[in-house]
Protein backbone atom coordinates (compact mmCIF):
# COMPACT_ATOMS: atom_id res chain seq x y z
CA UNK A 1 0.00 0.00 0.00
CA UNK A 2 1.39 3.41 -0.96
CA UNK A 3 0.63 6.21 1.47
CA UNK A 4 0.76 9.11 -1.02
CA UNK A 5 2.50 10.65 -3.99
CA UNK A 6 4.73 13.68 -4.43
CA UNK A 7 4.60 16.03 -7.40
CA UNK A 8 8.09 16.82 -8.65
CA UNK A 9 8.28 20.39 -10.01
CA UNK A 10 10.80 21.84 -12.44
CA UNK A 11 12.78 24.52 -10.55
CA UNK A 12 13.28 26.32 -13.88
CA UNK A 13 9.59 26.78 -14.67
CA UNK A 14 7.80 25.80 -11.47
CA UNK A 15 5.71 23.38 -13.56
CA UNK A 16 5.00 19.72 -12.66
CA UNK A 17 7.40 17.12 -14.08
CA UNK A 18 6.07 13.84 -12.69
CA UNK A 19 4.48 12.13 -9.71
CA UNK A 20 6.52 9.88 -7.43
CA UNK A 21 4.99 7.38 -5.02
CA UNK A 22 6.05 7.88 -1.41
CA UNK A 23 6.69 4.68 0.49
CA UNK A 24 4.71 3.86 3.62
CA UNK A 25 6.20 2.48 6.84
CA UNK A 26 5.06 -1.02 5.81
CA UNK A 27 6.77 -0.73 2.42
CA UNK A 28 9.90 0.59 4.12
CA UNK A 29 9.91 -2.35 6.53
CA UNK A 30 9.51 -4.80 3.65
CA UNK A 31 12.45 -3.22 1.78
CA UNK A 32 14.65 -3.30 4.88
CA UNK A 33 13.76 -6.97 5.41
CA UNK A 34 14.66 -7.77 1.78
CA UNK A 35 17.98 -5.93 2.24
CA UNK A 36 18.64 -7.91 5.40
CA UNK A 37 17.81 -11.17 3.62
CA UNK A 38 20.21 -10.24 0.80
CA UNK A 39 23.04 -9.42 3.21
CA UNK A 40 24.59 -12.85 3.97
CA UNK A 41 24.99 -13.77 0.31
CA UNK A 42 26.37 -10.32 -0.58
CA UNK A 43 28.81 -10.42 2.35
CA UNK A 44 30.03 -13.80 1.14
CA UNK A 45 30.49 -12.83 -2.52
CA UNK A 46 34.20 -13.32 -3.25
CA UNK A 47 36.06 -9.99 -3.01
CA UNK A 48 37.12 -10.06 -6.66
CA UNK A 49 33.55 -10.74 -7.77
CA UNK A 50 32.17 -7.91 -5.64
CA UNK A 51 34.80 -5.68 -7.21
CA UNK A 52 33.73 -6.79 -10.68
CA UNK A 53 30.06 -6.07 -9.92
CA UNK A 54 30.88 -2.56 -8.67
CA UNK A 55 32.90 -1.90 -11.83
CA UNK A 56 29.97 -3.18 -13.89
CA UNK A 57 27.67 -0.79 -12.01
CA UNK A 58 30.12 2.06 -12.75
CA UNK A 59 30.15 1.13 -16.44
CA UNK A 60 26.35 1.14 -16.64
CA UNK A 61 26.25 4.56 -14.92
CA UNK A 62 28.81 5.79 -17.44
CA UNK A 63 26.73 4.48 -20.33
CA UNK A 64 23.74 6.45 -18.96
CA UNK A 65 25.71 9.54 -17.94
CA UNK A 66 23.94 11.96 -20.26
CA UNK A 67 20.51 10.56 -19.37
CA UNK A 68 21.23 10.92 -15.63
CA UNK A 69 22.58 14.45 -16.14
CA UNK A 70 19.53 15.56 -18.11
CA UNK A 71 17.28 14.05 -15.44
CA UNK A 72 19.06 16.13 -12.79
CA UNK A 73 18.64 19.31 -14.82
CA UNK A 74 14.93 18.53 -15.06
CA UNK A 75 14.44 17.59 -11.40
CA UNK A 76 16.89 19.87 -9.61
CA UNK A 77 17.63 22.73 -12.00
CA UNK A 78 21.36 22.01 -11.85
CA UNK A 79 23.44 23.40 -14.68
CA UNK A 80 24.07 20.71 -17.27
CA UNK A 81 27.83 21.07 -16.73
CA UNK A 82 27.45 20.36 -13.02
CA UNK A 83 24.96 17.54 -13.62
CA UNK A 84 27.39 15.75 -15.97
CA UNK A 85 30.10 16.09 -13.31
CA UNK A 86 27.69 14.71 -10.68
CA UNK A 87 26.78 11.60 -12.72
CA UNK A 88 30.49 11.12 -13.51
CA UNK A 89 31.22 11.36 -9.81
CA UNK A 90 28.92 8.39 -9.09
CA UNK A 91 30.79 6.39 -11.73
CA UNK A 92 34.18 7.43 -10.33
CA UNK A 93 33.23 6.69 -6.73
CA UNK A 94 32.05 3.20 -7.73
CA UNK A 95 35.26 2.57 -9.64
CA UNK A 96 37.40 3.87 -6.78
CA UNK A 97 35.68 1.70 -4.17
CA UNK A 98 35.61 -1.30 -6.48
CA UNK A 99 39.26 -1.66 -5.45
CA UNK A 100 38.27 -1.90 -1.79
CA UNK A 101 36.82 -5.44 -1.47
CA UNK A 102 40.23 -6.93 -2.29
CA UNK A 103 41.95 -4.52 0.11
CA UNK A 104 39.85 -4.73 3.29
CA UNK A 105 43.00 -5.32 5.30
CA UNK A 106 43.12 -6.22 8.95
CA UNK A 107 46.19 -5.92 11.13
CA UNK A 108 48.48 -8.39 12.84
CA UNK A 109 49.44 -7.02 16.22
CA UNK A 110 52.40 -8.32 18.25
CA UNK A 111 51.27 -9.98 21.48
CA UNK A 112 52.93 -12.55 23.78
CA UNK A 113 51.76 -16.16 23.73
CA UNK A 114 50.13 -16.35 20.33
CA UNK A 115 48.90 -14.54 17.27
CA UNK A 116 46.61 -11.53 17.28
CA UNK A 117 44.88 -10.24 14.20
CA UNK A 118 41.97 -7.99 13.30
CA UNK A 119 39.33 -8.37 10.60
CA UNK A 120 36.88 -5.86 9.19
CA UNK A 121 33.33 -7.20 9.07
CA UNK A 122 30.41 -5.50 7.32
CA UNK A 123 27.60 -4.22 9.50
CA UNK A 124 24.52 -5.44 7.62
CA UNK A 125 21.87 -3.06 6.25
CA UNK A 126 23.00 0.57 5.89
CA UNK A 127 20.39 3.35 5.70
CA UNK A 128 21.57 6.22 3.52
CA UNK A 129 19.53 9.45 3.80
CA UNK A 130 20.23 12.03 1.11
CA UNK A 131 19.41 15.78 0.88
CA UNK A 132 18.15 17.55 -2.25
CA UNK A 133 21.17 19.68 -3.06
CA UNK A 134 23.46 17.07 -4.65
CA UNK A 135 21.22 14.02 -5.12
CA UNK A 136 23.64 11.87 -7.11
CA UNK A 137 27.08 12.43 -5.55
CA UNK A 138 25.90 12.33 -1.94
CA UNK A 139 24.02 9.10 -2.62
CA UNK A 140 27.15 7.58 -4.17
CA UNK A 141 29.41 8.64 -1.28
CA UNK A 142 27.18 6.52 0.95
CA UNK A 143 26.32 3.49 -1.16
CA UNK A 144 29.70 3.12 -2.96
CA UNK A 145 31.91 2.35 0.07
CA UNK A 146 29.05 0.68 1.99
CA UNK A 147 28.48 -1.87 -0.79
CA UNK A 148 32.21 -2.35 -1.29
CA UNK A 149 32.61 -3.27 2.38
CA UNK A 150 29.97 -6.00 1.96
CA UNK A 151 26.87 -4.28 3.32
CA UNK A 152 23.48 -3.99 1.68
CA UNK A 153 21.98 -0.52 1.33
CA UNK A 154 18.56 1.07 1.56
CA UNK A 155 18.62 4.65 0.30
CA UNK A 156 16.10 7.43 0.79
CA UNK A 157 16.41 10.35 -1.59
CA UNK A 158 15.03 13.76 -0.60
CA UNK A 159 11.33 14.22 -1.37
CA UNK A 160 12.12 17.02 -3.83
CA UNK A 161 14.78 15.17 -5.84
CA UNK A 162 14.11 11.43 -6.16
CA UNK A 163 14.45 10.93 -9.92
CA UNK A 164 18.16 10.22 -10.38
CA UNK A 165 18.29 8.00 -7.28
CA UNK A 166 15.39 5.91 -8.59
CA UNK A 167 17.24 5.55 -11.89
CA UNK A 168 20.48 4.57 -10.13
CA UNK A 169 18.56 1.82 -8.31
CA UNK A 170 17.40 0.45 -11.68
CA UNK A 171 20.91 0.71 -13.15
CA UNK A 172 22.35 -1.29 -10.25
CA UNK A 173 20.06 -4.21 -11.13
CA UNK A 174 20.90 -3.83 -14.81
CA UNK A 175 24.60 -4.08 -13.88
CA UNK A 176 23.98 -7.39 -12.14
CA UNK A 177 23.83 -6.45 -8.46
CA UNK A 178 21.56 -9.01 -6.80
CA UNK A 179 18.02 -8.00 -5.78
CA UNK A 180 17.90 -6.42 -2.34
CA UNK A 181 21.56 -5.37 -2.29
CA UNK A 182 20.83 -1.73 -3.22
CA UNK A 183 17.25 -0.49 -2.83
CA UNK A 184 16.04 3.07 -3.37
CA UNK A 185 12.97 3.98 -1.29
CA UNK A 186 11.49 7.40 -2.13
CA UNK A 187 9.51 8.80 0.75
CA UNK A 188 9.15 11.35 3.49
CA UNK A 189 11.85 11.97 6.06
CA UNK A 190 9.27 11.61 8.80
CA UNK A 191 8.23 8.18 7.47
CA UNK A 192 11.02 6.38 5.59
CA UNK A 193 13.93 8.31 7.14
CA UNK A 194 12.64 7.88 10.66
CA UNK A 195 11.99 4.19 10.06
CA UNK A 196 15.64 3.74 9.06
CA UNK A 197 16.52 5.17 12.47
CA UNK A 198 14.07 3.05 14.48
CA UNK A 199 14.25 -0.25 12.56
CA UNK A 200 16.60 -2.63 14.40
CA UNK A 201 17.79 -4.33 11.19
CA UNK A 202 19.32 -1.05 9.94
CA UNK A 203 22.78 -1.11 11.52
CA UNK A 204 24.07 2.27 10.49
CA UNK A 205 22.66 5.59 9.32
CA UNK A 206 24.64 7.61 6.82
CA UNK A 207 22.89 10.98 6.91
CA UNK A 208 23.57 14.15 4.94
CA UNK A 209 21.30 17.11 5.52
CA UNK A 210 20.51 19.94 7.87
CA UNK A 211 22.07 20.22 11.30
CA UNK A 212 18.63 20.25 12.95
CA UNK A 213 17.48 16.96 11.43
CA UNK A 214 20.97 15.50 12.00
CA UNK A 215 20.65 16.16 15.73
CA UNK A 216 17.24 14.45 15.84
CA UNK A 217 18.68 11.43 14.03
CA UNK A 218 21.65 11.29 16.38
CA UNK A 219 19.28 11.28 19.35
CA UNK A 220 17.17 8.56 17.69
CA UNK A 221 20.22 6.38 17.00
CA UNK A 222 21.17 6.46 20.68
CA UNK A 223 18.30 4.11 21.49
CA UNK A 224 19.95 1.18 19.68
CA UNK A 225 23.51 2.55 19.82
CA UNK A 226 23.17 2.64 16.07
CA UNK A 227 26.27 3.62 14.09
CA UNK A 228 26.00 7.02 12.49
CA UNK A 229 27.74 9.34 10.07
CA UNK A 230 26.51 12.93 9.87
CA UNK A 231 27.36 15.40 7.11
CA UNK A 232 25.57 18.61 8.09
CA UNK A 233 25.50 22.33 7.40
CA UNK A 234 28.28 24.82 6.87
CA UNK A 235 29.13 28.52 6.97
CA UNK A 236 32.56 28.40 5.46
CA UNK A 237 35.01 31.27 5.20
CA UNK A 238 37.00 32.34 2.18
CA UNK A 239 39.95 34.26 3.68
CA UNK A 240 41.74 36.64 1.33
CA UNK A 241 45.02 38.17 2.52
CA UNK A 242 46.35 41.37 0.98
CA UNK A 243 49.47 39.53 -0.26
CA UNK A 244 47.33 37.15 -2.38
CA UNK A 245 46.72 37.20 -6.10
CA UNK A 246 43.68 39.45 -5.61
CA UNK A 247 42.57 39.14 -9.23
CA UNK A 248 42.43 35.35 -8.93
CA UNK A 249 40.79 35.46 -5.49
CA UNK A 250 38.05 37.82 -6.72
CA UNK A 251 37.50 36.02 -10.02
CA UNK A 252 37.01 32.66 -8.31
CA UNK A 253 35.07 33.75 -5.20
CA UNK A 254 31.62 33.82 -6.89
CA UNK A 255 31.94 30.21 -8.02
CA UNK A 256 32.94 29.14 -4.50
CA UNK A 257 29.60 30.34 -3.15
CA UNK A 258 27.14 30.66 -6.04
CA UNK A 259 27.79 27.27 -7.60
CA UNK A 260 24.58 25.22 -7.43
CA UNK A 261 22.86 28.54 -6.60
CA UNK A 262 24.59 28.51 -3.21
CA UNK A 263 22.85 25.29 -2.19
CA UNK A 264 26.12 23.72 -1.24
CA UNK A 265 27.18 22.70 2.27
CA UNK A 266 30.73 23.78 1.35
CA UNK A 267 29.66 27.20 0.00
CA UNK A 268 32.19 29.84 1.03
CA UNK A 269 29.36 32.12 2.11
CA UNK A 270 31.55 34.37 4.28
CA UNK A 271 34.36 36.24 2.55
CA UNK A 272 36.97 37.75 4.85
CA UNK A 273 39.22 40.28 3.12
CA UNK A 274 42.27 41.96 4.65
CA UNK A 275 41.41 45.63 5.00
CA UNK A 276 44.25 46.96 2.82
CA UNK A 277 43.00 44.89 -0.15
CA UNK A 278 39.29 45.32 0.60
CA UNK A 279 38.42 48.00 -2.00
CA UNK A 280 40.38 46.37 -4.79
CA UNK A 281 38.85 42.98 -4.03
CA UNK A 282 35.29 44.34 -3.96
CA UNK A 283 35.75 46.16 -7.28
CA UNK A 284 36.95 42.99 -8.95
CA UNK A 285 34.28 40.87 -7.23
CA UNK A 286 31.55 43.13 -8.60
CA UNK A 287 32.84 42.59 -12.13
CA UNK A 288 33.01 38.83 -11.62
CA UNK A 289 29.51 38.58 -10.14
CA UNK A 290 28.08 40.72 -12.94
CA UNK A 291 29.64 38.41 -15.52
CA UNK A 292 28.18 35.20 -14.08
CA UNK A 293 25.91 33.46 -16.55
CA UNK A 294 22.68 32.91 -14.63
CA UNK A 295 20.71 31.36 -17.45
CA UNK A 296 18.66 28.28 -18.32
CA UNK A 297 20.60 25.44 -16.66
CA UNK A 298 20.08 23.24 -19.72
CA UNK A 299 22.30 25.67 -21.69
CA UNK A 300 25.91 24.44 -21.84
CA UNK A 301 27.11 27.95 -20.91
CA UNK A 302 24.97 28.20 -17.76
CA UNK A 303 26.93 28.87 -14.55
CA UNK A 304 24.00 29.14 -12.13
CA UNK A 305 20.42 27.97 -12.20
CA UNK A 306 17.40 28.48 -9.96
CA UNK A 307 16.85 27.37 -6.37
CA UNK A 308 15.24 24.01 -5.73
CA UNK A 309 11.73 25.12 -4.73
CA UNK A 310 9.45 28.04 -3.88
CA UNK A 311 9.99 27.54 -0.13
CA UNK A 312 13.77 27.70 -0.48
CA UNK A 313 13.43 30.89 -2.54
CA UNK A 314 11.22 32.39 0.15
CA UNK A 315 13.73 31.43 2.88
CA UNK A 316 16.62 32.98 0.97
CA UNK A 317 14.69 36.17 0.19
CA UNK A 318 13.77 36.31 3.89
CA UNK A 319 17.48 36.68 4.72
CA UNK A 320 17.67 39.63 2.31
CA UNK A 321 14.60 41.37 3.73
CA UNK A 322 15.71 44.76 5.07
CA UNK A 323 19.33 44.03 4.15
CA UNK A 324 21.06 46.31 1.66
CA UNK A 325 22.83 44.42 -1.11
CA UNK A 326 26.13 45.97 -2.23
CA UNK A 327 25.63 44.51 -5.71
CA UNK A 328 24.02 41.54 -7.36
CA UNK A 329 23.96 39.58 -10.60
CA UNK A 330 21.04 38.81 -12.83
CA UNK A 331 18.26 36.28 -13.37
CA UNK A 332 16.93 35.34 -16.81
CA UNK A 333 14.28 37.63 -18.36
CA UNK A 334 12.20 34.50 -18.83
CA UNK A 335 12.43 33.52 -15.13
CA UNK A 336 8.61 33.34 -14.94
CA UNK A 337 7.43 31.09 -12.13
CA UNK A 338 10.84 29.43 -11.70
CA UNK A 339 12.64 29.68 -8.36
CA UNK A 340 15.34 32.19 -9.35
CA UNK A 341 17.32 34.48 -7.03
CA UNK A 342 20.25 36.54 -8.40
CA UNK A 343 23.75 36.11 -6.92
CA UNK A 344 23.83 38.74 -4.20
CA UNK A 345 26.72 40.33 -2.26
CA UNK A 346 26.16 41.93 1.15
CA UNK A 347 28.78 43.89 3.12
CA UNK A 348 28.80 43.64 6.89
CA UNK A 349 30.98 44.28 9.93
CA UNK A 350 28.39 42.78 12.29
CA UNK A 351 29.15 39.21 13.30
CA UNK A 352 25.73 38.82 14.94
CA UNK A 353 23.70 39.34 11.76
CA UNK A 354 21.88 36.18 10.51
CA UNK A 355 23.49 36.55 7.08
CA UNK A 356 26.90 36.16 8.74
CA UNK A 357 25.93 33.42 11.21
CA UNK A 358 23.34 31.20 9.53
CA UNK A 359 23.52 28.87 6.57
CA UNK A 360 21.47 30.76 3.95
CA UNK A 361 21.74 27.91 1.41
CA UNK A 362 21.18 30.28 -1.47
CA UNK A 363 23.19 32.65 -3.69
CA UNK A 364 24.01 35.17 -0.96
CA UNK A 365 27.49 36.00 0.29
CA UNK A 366 28.55 38.30 3.12
CA UNK A 367 31.89 40.15 2.90
CA UNK A 368 33.74 41.46 5.97
CA UNK A 369 37.14 43.16 6.35
CA UNK A 370 39.77 41.95 8.83
CA UNK A 371 43.04 43.39 10.12
CA UNK A 372 45.61 40.64 10.60
CA UNK A 373 46.15 36.89 10.62
CA UNK A 374 44.93 36.37 14.18
CA UNK A 375 41.82 38.42 13.43
CA UNK A 376 41.11 36.34 10.30
CA UNK A 377 41.38 33.02 12.18
CA UNK A 378 39.23 34.31 15.04
CA UNK A 379 36.49 35.49 12.67
CA UNK A 380 36.63 32.31 10.55
CA UNK A 381 36.20 30.19 13.70
CA UNK A 382 33.42 32.32 15.15
CA UNK A 383 30.74 29.86 14.01
CA UNK A 384 29.15 26.64 15.23
CA UNK A 385 30.00 25.08 11.85
CA UNK A 386 33.32 23.79 10.53
CA UNK A 387 33.01 22.15 7.15
CA UNK A 388 35.32 23.79 4.63
CA UNK A 389 37.09 27.01 3.70
CA UNK A 390 39.66 28.68 1.47
CA UNK A 391 42.79 30.69 2.15
CA UNK A 392 44.32 33.05 -0.41
CA UNK A 393 47.89 34.19 0.28
CA UNK A 394 51.30 34.05 -1.42
CA UNK A 395 53.04 33.47 1.94
CA UNK A 396 53.48 29.71 2.39
CA UNK A 397 54.12 30.01 6.13
CA UNK A 398 50.93 31.97 6.57
CA UNK A 399 49.01 29.44 4.46
CA UNK A 400 50.20 26.66 6.77
CA UNK A 401 49.47 28.58 9.97
CA UNK A 402 45.98 29.58 8.88
CA UNK A 403 45.20 26.11 7.49
CA UNK A 404 46.10 24.69 10.90
CA UNK A 405 44.25 27.45 12.73
CA UNK A 406 40.88 27.24 10.99
CA UNK A 407 38.61 24.64 12.61
CA UNK A 408 37.19 22.96 9.51
CA UNK A 409 37.43 19.56 7.89
CA UNK A 410 38.30 20.59 4.33
CA UNK A 411 40.49 23.54 3.44
CA UNK A 412 42.08 24.68 0.22
CA UNK A 413 44.84 27.21 -0.34
CA UNK A 414 44.73 29.50 -3.38
CA UNK A 415 41.84 27.46 -4.75
CA UNK A 416 38.34 26.40 -3.84
CA UNK A 417 38.87 22.73 -4.37
CA UNK A 418 35.63 20.85 -4.56
CA UNK A 419 35.22 17.53 -2.87
CA UNK A 420 37.55 14.82 -4.17
CA UNK A 421 36.35 11.26 -3.77
CA UNK A 422 39.83 9.99 -2.96
CA UNK A 423 40.38 12.38 -0.01
CA UNK A 424 38.46 12.39 3.29
CA UNK A 425 35.49 14.71 3.62
CA UNK A 426 33.56 15.80 6.71
CA UNK A 427 32.99 18.47 9.27
CA UNK A 428 34.35 19.78 12.55
CA UNK A 429 31.97 21.00 15.27
CA UNK A 430 28.29 20.98 14.27
CA UNK A 431 29.08 20.34 10.60
CA UNK A 432 29.17 16.63 11.18
CA UNK A 433 30.40 13.45 12.71
CA UNK A 434 32.76 11.01 11.04
CA UNK A 435 34.25 11.20 7.56
CA UNK A 436 33.15 10.07 4.12
CA UNK A 437 35.19 9.39 1.00
CA UNK A 438 38.94 8.89 0.85
CA UNK A 439 40.79 5.61 1.29
CA UNK A 440 39.26 4.80 4.71
CA UNK A 441 35.56 5.22 3.89
CA UNK A 442 34.78 1.49 3.58
CA UNK A 443 36.14 0.96 7.12
CA UNK A 444 33.39 3.24 8.43
CA UNK A 445 30.89 0.61 7.25
CA UNK A 446 32.53 -2.20 9.22
CA UNK A 447 33.14 -3.39 12.75
CA UNK A 448 36.76 -4.11 13.61
CA UNK A 449 37.02 -7.55 15.23
CA UNK A 450 40.10 -8.62 17.18
CA UNK A 451 41.02 -12.31 17.37
CA UNK A 452 43.73 -13.84 19.59
CA UNK A 453 44.96 -17.40 18.97
CA UNK A 454 46.97 -18.98 21.77
CA UNK A 455 50.03 -20.85 20.53
CA UNK A 456 50.08 -23.55 23.22
Q: What is the Cα 6 distance to its own chain's centre?
A: 23
Report, in Å, the least distance between residue 266 CB and ligand NAD.
7
| Of the candidate residues 77, 122, 233, 442, the single one contacting ligand NAD (CB under 6 A) | 233
Report, in Å, the least distance between residue 110 CB and ligand NAD.
38
Interatomic CA distance for residues 402 and 375, integer angstroms: 11
Of the candidates 86, 159, 194, 231, the residue annotated as catalytic is 231
297-308: buried (b, 16+ CB within 10 Å) or exposed (e) per residue?
bbeeebbbbbbb
DSSP H or E run through 227: strand 227-231
Annotated catalytic residue 221: no
Interatomic CA distance for residues 254 and 252, integer angstroms: 6
Interatomic CA distance for residues 275 and 282, integer angstroms: 11
Nearer to ligand NAD, 147 or 387 (CB): 387
Residues 375-434 that bind ligand NAD (CB under 6 A): 387, 427, 431-432
Annotated catalytic residue 265: yes
Interatomic CA distance for residues 205 and 146, integer angstroms: 11
Among 80, 75, 78, 83, which Cα is nearest to 20's?
75
Q: Find the length of the chain.
A: 456
Contact map string, positions 179 to 218, toward ligand NAD, x by CB under 6 A: ----------xx--xx--x----------xxx--x--xx-
- The greatest distance separating any two alpha carbons of the chain, rounded to the nearest whole angstrom, comes to 82
- Do 7 and 19 meet the contact criterion of CB atoms below 8 Å apart? yes
Nearer to ligand NAD, 88 or 106 (CB): 88
SS3 271: strand
Phi and psi torsions of 144, nearest 5°: -60, -65
| Of the candidate residues 130, 256, 341, 408, the single one contacting ligand NAD (CB under 6 A) | 130
Interatomic CA distance for residues 308 and 316, integer angstroms: 11
Q: Does 132 bind ligand NAD (CB under 6 A)?
A: yes
Report, in Å, the least distance between residue 236 CB and ligand NAD.
10
Report, in Å, the least distance between residue 381 CB and ligand NAD.
18
Nearer to ligand NAD, 175 or 408 (CB): 408
SS3 387: coil
Contact map string, positions 151 to 180, toward ligand NAD, x by CB under 6 A: -----x-xx---------------------
Among 309, 315, 127, which Cα is nearest to 230's?
127
Q: Does 143 bind ligand NAD (CB under 6 A)?
A: no
SS3 46: coil
Nearer to ligand NAD, 133 or 274 (CB): 133
Q: Does 131 bind ligand NAD (CB under 6 A)?
A: yes
Region of 225 (left: φ > 0; alpha: ψ -120 to 50; beta: rest) is left
22-60: buried (b, 16+ CB within 10 Å) or exposed (e) per residue?
bbbeebbeebbebbbebbeebbebeeeebbebbbbbbeb
From the list 30-38, 231-239, 288-296, 330-338, the region that binds ligand NAD by CB under 6 A is 231-239
- Do 435 and 444 meet the contact criterion of CB atoms below 8 Å apart? yes
Q: What is the DSSP string of 175-209?
A: TTPPTTSEEE----IIIIIHHHHH-TTEEEEEEES
Nearer to ligand NAD, 269 or 344 (CB): 269
Report, in Å, the least distance between residue 359 CB and ligand NAD.
5
| Of the candidate residues 11, 234, 369, 389, the single one contacting ligand NAD (CB under 6 A) | 234
Interatomic CA distance for residues 127 and 155, integer angstroms: 6
Report, in Å, the least distance between residue 13 CB and ligand NAD.
21
Please count the residues of this chain forming the interface with ligand NAD, following the rule CB under 6 A. 32
Nearer to ligand NAD, 140 or 150 (CB): 140
Interatomic CA distance for residues 434 and 411, integer angstroms: 17
Of the candidates 206, 265, 266, 309, the residue annotated as catalytic is 265
Residues 259-318 that bind ligand NAD (CB under 6 A): 265
Q: Does 127 bind ligand NAD (CB under 6 A)?
A: no
From the list 5-13, 44-52, 75-83, 126-134, the region that binds ligand NAD by CB under 6 A is 126-134
Nearer to ligand NAD, 27 or 231 (CB): 231
Residues in contact with ligand NAD by the rule CB under 6 A? 129-134, 138, 156, 158-159, 189-190, 193-194, 197, 208-210, 213, 216-217, 231-234, 265, 359, 361, 387, 427, 431-432
Residues taking part in catalysis: 231, 265
Amino acid sequence: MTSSTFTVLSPVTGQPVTEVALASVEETDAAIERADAAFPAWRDVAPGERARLLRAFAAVVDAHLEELAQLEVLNSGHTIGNARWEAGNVRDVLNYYSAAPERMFGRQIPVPGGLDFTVREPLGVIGVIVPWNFPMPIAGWGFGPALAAGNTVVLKPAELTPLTAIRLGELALEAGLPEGVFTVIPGKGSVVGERFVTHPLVRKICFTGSTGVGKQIMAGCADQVKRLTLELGGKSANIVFADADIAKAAATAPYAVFDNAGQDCCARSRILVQRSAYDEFLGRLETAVGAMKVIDPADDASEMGPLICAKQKETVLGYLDGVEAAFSGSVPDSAGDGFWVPPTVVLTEDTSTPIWREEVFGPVVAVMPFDDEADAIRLANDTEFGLSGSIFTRDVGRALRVARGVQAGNLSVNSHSSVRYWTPFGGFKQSGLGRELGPDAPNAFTEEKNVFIAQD
